[in-house]
C-alpha cells in the first residue's frame, strides 16, 4: 500500500511566501433610486499565522453617511455602512495586499486518531482552555446535524484513522462525488438538497465538509477568501478563481491545529489561498449583504483579481 503523501500544515514567517494584490469589486444596480441602504461587509483580509496583511482599502460609492468598522466574535473585520441619499447604484472596491506563507509538509500519520482529537475537547469551556475551538463543534444556521452527514463522514473517519488522513479523504470524496455546477444551488439552497443532488459550488462543498466533521465531533469552520487568479507555470487553474472562494478548516489536534481543505479543488490550502474571514458557515462571513428601501430590481456584478507581486 502506498503511504499517504505529505500535506501542508500551518506555517510561520520563515516559510516561502507569495505577495498578492487583490481587487474585489462588488456592484449593485437597484433599477431605480432608493432613498437609503444599509450594508454589512466582510471584505478586509484578516491576518493569521500563515498570512500577513500589508494593506487594506475599501472604496465605497456613493460615499456613505455612516461608516464604522469593528472586529466580530470570530476575529474578522466587519465594515458597516449607510448611504442616506437617493442612489440607484452601490459599489464597493476592496483592495488588499497580503503575504501568504507556504505551510510546512506534514504527514497524515503525524496526527492522532480522530477519536482522540474529539475526546480531548471534552470538558473544555473557558477562553483559556479551548472554547475558541469547541465553538465550531455545534450546529449553525446553515449547517445542521443530520444522519446523512454522519453516514457520509463515517466512510472517511474509520476507527483509529488519523484525523488528518480522515479530513483529506473526506475532501477527495466530496471532490469526486459532487459535481461543480453554478446553476444547481443558491445561497438559500438547504444542505440536505445538496447532499441529495450531489451538485453545487464551493460554498456548498465547504458546508458539507464542515457538517461531516462536526457530525463525528470534530470542530470545523467555514473559510471565505480568494484563489490566485493565474496559476504558476505548468499548473492547472484552480476552480473558483475570479470570484470569492470558500473552503473548510478542520481541527486535527493541538500539535497540528487547523487543517484547511478545499473540496472544490481536492487540495490542502497552500499559498494560492488568500483568507478573508472565517466563521461557523457562510451566514457568518458573507462578503456583502444589505437592506434597502425601494428599488425595482437587484442587479449584481462581482469581479475578483488576484495578482502575485514581484519582490
Q: Tell me, what CATH number does 129's domain have? A: 3.10.620.30
Query: Considering only CA atoms, which of 126, 118, 94, 88 is closest in space to residue 292?
Result: 88
Quick check: 43 and 58 in contact, CB under 8 A?
yes
Beta strands 299-309 and 288-292: pairing type?
A: unpaired
For 141-201, where are the alpha helices, taking DSSP H only? 147-156, 163-177, 191-197
Q: Is residue 196 part of a domain?
A: yes
pLDDT of residue 1: 31
Residues 166, 292: one domain?
no
Q: Is residue 189 part of a domain?
A: yes
**C-alpha count within 13 angstroms, C-beta hemisphere, residue 98:** 30
Residues 184, 298: one domain?
no
3 state SS of 174: helix
Q: Is residue 2 part of a domain?
A: no
Q: Is residue 49 part of a domain?
A: yes
Residues 291, 155: one domain?
no
Q: Tell me, what CATH number does 38's domain have? A: 2.60.40.2250
Q: Dihedral angle at the C-alpha atoms of 128, 278, 82, 303, nearest 10 degrees?
A: 160
Q: Is residue 304 part of a domain?
A: yes
Q: Is residue 254 part of a domain?
A: yes
Q: How far apart are CA 57 and CA 196, in angstroms?
A: 41
Which range of residues forms the domain containing residue 95? 19-100+287-309
Residues 211, 117: one domain?
yes
Count the neighbouring beta carbons within 10 Å of the beta carbon of residue 295. Answer: 16
The Cα-based distances of 173 to 7, 118, 154, 229, 262 in angstroms read: 17, 22, 12, 25, 11
Q: How far apart are CA 202 and CA 214, in angstroms?
A: 18
Q: Is residue 151 part of a domain?
A: yes
- Sorted by sequence, the CB contacts under 8 Å of residue 35 that are 6+ apart come out as 84, 85, 86, 293, 294
- As a whole number of angstroms, the longest Cα–Cα distance in the chain is 67
The Cα-based distances of 166 to 111, 157, 160, 288 in angstroms read: 10, 5, 10, 33
Phi, psi (rounded to 5 degrees) for 287: -60, -40
Dihedral-angle region of residue 152 (phi above 0 means left; psi in -120 to 50 means alpha; beta otherwise): alpha
Query: Considering only CA atoms, which of 274, 266, 270 is closest in space to residue 305?
Result: 274
Phi, psi (rounded to 5 degrees) for 191: -65, -30
Q: Which three cell numbers stand for residue 213?
A: 466533521
Residues 204, 125: one domain?
yes
Residues 256, 278: one domain?
yes
Residues 127, 180: one domain?
yes
Residues 115, 230: one domain?
yes
Q: Is residue 1 part of a domain?
A: no
pLDDT of residue 298: 76
pLDDT of residue 11: 47
Residues 262, 129: one domain?
yes
Residues 90, 148: one domain?
no
Total of domains in the chain: 2
List per-residue pLDDT tens for the chain, 311 residues long.
Answer: 333 334 444 444 467 899 999 999 999 999 899 999 999 999 999 999 999 999 999 999 999 999 999 999 999 999 999 999 999 999 999 999 999 999 878 787 778 999 999 999 986 655 555 778 999 999 999 999 999 999 999 999 999 999 999 999 999 999 999 999 999 999 899 999 999 999 999 999 999 999 999 999 999 999 999 998 766 666 666 655 567 899 999 999 988 899 999 999 999 999 999 999 999 999 999 999 988 877 666 788 999 999 899 76
pLDDT of residue 189: 94
Residues 281, 291: one domain?
no
pLDDT of residue 2: 33
Amino acid at each position: 500500500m502506498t503511504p499517504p503523501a505529505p500535506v501542508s500544515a500551518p506555517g510561520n514567517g520563515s516559510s516561502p511566501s507569495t505577495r498578492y494584490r487583490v481587487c474585489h469589486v462588488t456592484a449593485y444596480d437597484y433599477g431605480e433610486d432608493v432613498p437609503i441602504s444599509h450594508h454589512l461587509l466582510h471584505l478586509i483580509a484578516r491576518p493569521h499565522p500563515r498570512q500577513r496583511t500589508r494593506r487594506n482599502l475599501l472604496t465605497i460609492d456613493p460615499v456613505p453617511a455612516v461608516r464604522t468598522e469593528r472586529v466580530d466574535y470570530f476575529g474578522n473585520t466587519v465594515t458597516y455602512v449607510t448611504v442616506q441619499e437617493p442612489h440607484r447604484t452601490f459599489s464597493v472596491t476592496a483592495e488588499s495586499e497580503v503575504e501568504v506563507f507556504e505551510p510546512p509538509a506534514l504527514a497524515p500519520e503525524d496526527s492522532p486518531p480522530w477519536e482522540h482529537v474529539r475526546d480531548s475537547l471534552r470538558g473544555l469551556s473557558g477562553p483559556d482552555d479551548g472554547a475558541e475551538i469547541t465553538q465550531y463543534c455545534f450546529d449553525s444556521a446553515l449547517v445542521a446535524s443530520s444522519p446523512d452527514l454522519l453516514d457520509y463522514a463515517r466512510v472517511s473517519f474509520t476507527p483509529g484513522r488519523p484525523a488528518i488522513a480522515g479530513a483529506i479523504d473526506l475532501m477527495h470524496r466530496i471532490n469526486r462525488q459532487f459535481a461543480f455546477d453554478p446553476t444547481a444551488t443558491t445561497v438559500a439552497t438547504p444542505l440536505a438538497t445538496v447532499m441529495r443532488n450531489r451538485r453545487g459550488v464551493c460554498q456548498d462543498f465547504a458546508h458539507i465538509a464542515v457538517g461531516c466533521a462536526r457530525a463525528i465531533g470534530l470542530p470545523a469552520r467555514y473559510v471565505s477568501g480568494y484563489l490566485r487568479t493565474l496559476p504558476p507555470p505548468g499548473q492547472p487553474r484552480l476552480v473558483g478563481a475570479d470570484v470569492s472562494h470558500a473552503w473548510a478548516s478542520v481541527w486535527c489536534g493541538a500539535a497540528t491545529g487547523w487543517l484547511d481543505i478545499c473540496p472544490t479543488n481536492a487540495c490542502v490550502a497552500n499559498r494560492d489561498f488568500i483568507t478573508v474571514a472565517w466563521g461557523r458557515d457562510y451566514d457568518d462571513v458573507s462578503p456583502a449583504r444589505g437592506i434597502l428601501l425601494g428599488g425595482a430590481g437587484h442587479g449584481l456584478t462581482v469581479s475578483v483579481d488576484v495578482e502575485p507581486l514581484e519582490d
